[in-house]
Structure 1
Amino acid sequence: MDHKRQWRRLNGAIVKTPIEDEIRDVLVQAIHNGYTMKVCIGTDSQVKGRTTEFATVIVFIRKGKGGFMYIHNETTVRKMSVRERMLAEVTKSIEVAYELCGLFTTYNVDMEVHADINTQPNFKSNDALKEAMGYITGMGFAFKAKPHAFASSSCADKAVH
């Protein structure tokens, strides 16, 4: 994985080890504690003047025992259409999912990629729905869009500064 990508926990604590090592430790501990885990990866963005900030999250759900997440933020000054920005969000999520999917397979953890794209045709983000769904499922990942895409539309949304 791109080791320049800085991850943090929701409480702001910086992850000092490579994210793969951190995730492996989390999964080993979860198995040791008897938790059934599920992972949802999503990205959201906000345009602020000339910049666009992206927040990508890796959300862990311990079935019946709550959850937690890891967050990565990045900013770009590139101007994008809504459709292009939605597909950039999906690309960022897929990059993380692809780099970690081996761990999830090894530890038998279900993973979904969430897209902050509305399924209602009257929303601008809907222009990217078919491409995003094809991209995510074509990579072999489970796909969720609004209103079921909580990793991107709720968790990542709160992590965009």
Structure 2
Amino acid sequence: MQQHKKQWRKLTGERVNTYIEEELHGVILREREMGSQLKVCIGTDSQVKGADTEFATAIVFIRKGRGGFMYLTNETTREKMSIRQRMITEVARSIEVAYSLSDVFTSHQVDMEVHVDINTDPMYKSHDALKEAIGYITGMGFVFKAKPEAFASSCCANKVVQ
């Protein structure tokens, strides 16, 4: 699976030294033992830095009424992209993660959403990619959230690409 190749870490910076699927399976079991009701949100954000574009993807766990925690991975590319192409690449990275982890979440009955850092206001350039993103995500069978409800991408992933 593709996720085996990514280097995941916790927000604290602690590296995940096992496959992310195994890590999340164990985390879900531990959280359930503590009585947590979980939901997971996956989102990607990007930042252009000179010739590089850095992407950060976040897997955010929400404990109903008890906060949350997340796992992160970063990747950098030198590929030059339009804003629309960059937004769709963010969506593709989130879907890749969601798809590869969906068996883990389904087997534990954890609801999952895919969050996109695309503005629903037509005044913003990112809005150009909204319809395509909605079709892509819902076509894959995932729940879709865009700004301002897309905190996994616009808040969590955003924090590690600035």
With the length of structure 1 as denominator, give the TM-score of the two structures: 0.98
What is the CA RMSD across the aligned residues, in angstroms?
Answer: 0.7
TM-superposed deviation, 1:86? 0.1
1:4 equivalent in structure 2? 5
- The aligned runs of 1:46-61 (5 Å cut-off) are 46-61=47-62
- The aligned runs of 1:58-77 (5 Å cut-off) are 58-77=59-78
TM-superposed deviation, 1:116? 0.2
TM-superposed deviation, 1:31? 1.4
TM-superposed deviation, 1:160? 1.1
Alpha-carbon distance in 2 for matches of 1:22, 1:133: 29
Residue type of the alignment partner of 1:69 = M
Alignment gaps of 5+ in structure 1: none
Alpha-carbon distance in 1 for matches of 2:84, 2:21: 30
Alpha-carbon distance in 1 for matches of 2:13, 2:58: 13
- The aligned runs of 1:62-101 (5 Å cut-off) are 62-101=63-102
Deviation per residue, 1:32-79 (Å, 9 max, x gap): 111100000000000011000000000001111110000000000000
Alignment gaps of 5+ in structure 2: none
Alpha-carbon distance in 1 for matches of 2:46, 2:83: 10
Aligned residues: 161
1:35 equivalent in structure 2? 36
2:110 equivalent in structure 1? 109
- The aligned runs of 1:103-142 (5 Å cut-off) are 103-142=104-143
3-state SS in 2 of match to 1:12: coil
Residue type of the alignment partner of 1:139 = M
TM-superposed deviation, 1:159? 1.3
3-state SS in 1 of match to 2:73: strand
Alpha-carbon distance in 2 for matches of 1:134, 1:29: 35
Alpha-carbon distance in 2 for matches of 1:64, 1:119: 28
TM-superposed deviation, 1:133? 0.5
> Once the two structures are aligned, what percentage of the paired residues are identical?
66
1:158 equivalent in structure 2? 159
TM-superposed deviation, 1:119? 0.2
2:150 equivalent in structure 1? 149
3-state SS in 2 of match to 1:16: coil
3-state SS in 1 of match to 2:40: strand
Alpha-carbon distance in 1 for matches of 2:102, 2:9: 20
Alpha-carbon distance in 2 for matches of 1:145, 1:85: 15
